[in-house]
Amino acid sequence: MAAPERPAQAPASPTDPAPASPSGGEEAAARGGGLVRSLTPRQTTMIGLGSALGTGLFLGSGSAISAVGPAVIVSYAIGAVLVAIIAVLLGEMSAAHPVQGSFGAVAHRYLGPWAGFVTRWTYWFSAVVVIGTEVVASALYLRWWWPGVPMSAAILAVAAVVLAVNVINVKSFGTTEFWLSTIKVTALCAFILCAAFLVLFGLPDTGATGFAHLTDDGGFVPQGVKSIWIAMSVVMFAYAGFEVVAIASAEATDPQRSIRTAMRQLAWRLSVFYVLAITLVVALIPWRRLAAGDGSVEASPFVRVFSDVGVPAAATLTNLVVLIAAVSAANAHLYGASRLLHSLGDDGLAPAPLARLTARGVPANALAASTLGIAAAALLAFYDVGGIFGILMSIALFAVLLVWLLILASYIAFRRHRDAHPEEFTGFTVPGGSRLALVAGAGVLAVAATAIEVPDMRQAAGIGLAFTAVLLGCYALTTLRRSRRS
């Protein structure tokens, strides 16, 4: 394990962002060439929600429900606990090191350069795949209203909006993502309230469903206790995306306060939203009906609940919400991917042009490179080239788990150094953080172990390990080339 470098109080390292000028962030970026600190604590929190609350929740989780039945609630609750632990621990590290490259730079510092290289490139690839799939999904939602619009035109329209939001400046991105996420959260809260009313009170012509659906069709665990574990492969991927909050710490106006607040709020909000929404869905609609859904807008639990309470045009309303959810997720992931790629370029672990910033502090080259997933996903989705699209998603699924493990390993090394040198650090600490990291690590490994039973996870593990080996080979070649130059 590499010896950790001195943290934030030391002179600025290549991974430390340039401080914002009191007279204005954009002017500071133009003079100093650094990222701009202009994201507020509220924006930082909503960025995390924007990337984590995607179309999977809004269109339902049929595959997880079909695998486990009503006990899918337990799967989501376990997932919420794991994600809450990772989020809070990542928050402590990010508050101590609010640097560009975020958890990738911290992995470099505490685990070694190889870990920083693998973490950032793995996350970047995963984010690029997600960006592409969310943009393609957005195009499909647009064509639900206007089926005559060519798929390519719809994809270009969505991509242009997402790219424009990111390329102006970070303040524009933060403001846009704040409002997109606010709409998603508002819609989700409305759904929860309507669903809870139907479950507890019903309507004049329809009695309250109560919670009978949780046990009246084969019991609470109709597929067996083992199915709760098997469903975790689907459930955990639905939570992915909260890491963008840590990436945003390098451009937050008050990093320690922003990250501490954002991660804590994100942990409990995601837990409440996911667990409560899934519980109400399964209580309202028999689980076998949900499992048989095709994932379309008409089959969404949102449509069914809003229709039951008499909301007109429920399908249209739901389509608008999932469109906003998809655009928001693509927007947030593009931001995160571009910042990590920029940090790789800045550290000499990616082509040098990727490290360049515009006068407004935007990594335009890294941003452009991160949009490659939009074109690739569009082509693969359109032509369905030999299952490559599924292979890319498998790598993305593996990448999420690997990044989480590296974050937890980095935290253990970070905490060991922090406990030995408390005078070097300020900010909050998580009581028993190292033990929590071990618990969360065991949980993530247990999710990865579902590859024994789940074919998709087995494919993800095989392809993901090969992809990681390729990355390590690339790192070795990069290191050899740099050593020869020096």
77, part of any domain: yes
In a domain, 154, yes or no: yes
- Categorize the per-residue pLDDT at 296 as very low, low, confident or very high, splitting at 50, 70 and 90: low
Structural domain including 95 reads: 33-481
Q: What is the pLDDT of residue 138?
A: 85
Residue 27 lies in a domain: no
Q: How many DSSP H helices and E strands does the chain contain?
A: 21, 0
pTM of the model: 0.85
pLDDT the model gives residue 226: 92
**Interhelix angle for 151-168 vs 314-346, to 10°?**
50
Q: Under the phi-then-psi rule, with left for phi > 0, alpha for psi from -120 to 50, and beta for the rest, what region is 310?
A: left
Model confidence at 28, in pLDDT bands (50, 70, 90)?
Answer: very low
Find the mean pLDDT for residues 108-137. 89
Q: Is residue 84 part of a domain?
A: yes
Average pLDDT score over residue span 450-455 = 86
Model confidence at 143, in pLDDT bands (50, 70, 90)? confident
**Residue-wise pLDDT tens digits, 241-292:** 888 888 888 787 777 777 877 787 777 888 888 899 899 988 988 888 877 6
Q: Give 20's pLDDT tier (boundaries 50, 70, 90).
A: very low
What is the model's pLDDT at position 396? 80
Burial 300-315 (b: 16+ CB within 10 A, else e): bbbbbbbbbeebeebb
Residue 264 lies in a domain: yes
pLDDT for 453 beyond 80:
yes
Asked whether 252 and 39 are in contact (CB, 8 A), the reply is yes
Q: What percent of the chain has pLDDT over 70?
A: 85
Number of domains the chain is built from = 1
Q: Give per-residue pLDDT as tens, 167-185.
A: 888 888 888 888 988 888 8
User: What is the per-residue pLDDT for 388?
Assistant: 63
The CATH number of the domain holding residue 222 is 1.20.1740.10
Write out 230-249 in H/E/C secondary structure: HCHHHHHHHHCCCCHHHHHH
User: How many Å is the Cα radius of gyration of the chain?
Assistant: 22
Q: Is the pLDDT of residue 111 over 90?
A: yes
Q: What are the start-end ranges of the E strands in 164-232?
A: none
pLDDT band at 118; cut points 50, 70, 90: very high
Contact 214, 60 (CB under 8 A): no
Residue 221 has pLDDT above 90, yes or no: yes
How high is the mean pLDDT of the chain? 81
Query: Is 14's pLDDT higher than 50?
Result: no
Residue 302 lies in a domain: yes
Q: Is residue 304 part of a domain?
A: yes
pLDDT at 209: 85
Assigned domain for 24 exists: no
pLDDT for the residue numbered 90:
92
**pLDDT, tens digit (0-9, with 9 covering 90-100), for 414-431:** 999 999 998 888 778 889
- 335 neighbors 169 (Cβ within 8 angstroms): no
Mean predicted confidence (pLDDT) in 381-389: 61
**Confidence (pLDDT) at 254:** 78
Long-range CB contact pairs, 266-269, < 8 A, 24+: 266/45, 266/48, 266/49, 266/52, 266/87, 266/242, 267/83, 267/84, 267/87, 267/88, 268/84, 269/49, 269/185
Query: What is the pLDDT at residue 387?
Result: 58
Least confident of 14-18, 57-61, 294-298, 457-461: 14-18
Total count of residues recorded for the chain = 486
Tell me the pLDDT band of 16, cut-offs 50, 70 and 90: very low
What pLDDT, in 10s, does the model give residues 390-415?
666 677 888 899 999 999 999 999 99
Q: Average pLDDT for residues 83-99, to the nearest whole number?
A: 89
pLDDT band at 26 (very low <50, low <70, confident <90, very high): very low
* 43 phi, psi to nearest 5 deg: -65, -40
Least confident of 169-183, 316-330, 371-385, 441-455: 371-385
pLDDT at 464: 85
Instruction: Give pLDDT tens digits for 324-346.
Output: 888 888 888 899 899 999 999 88
* Max avg pLDDT among 70-74, 249-253, 262-266, 374-378: 70-74
pLDDT above 90 for 117: yes
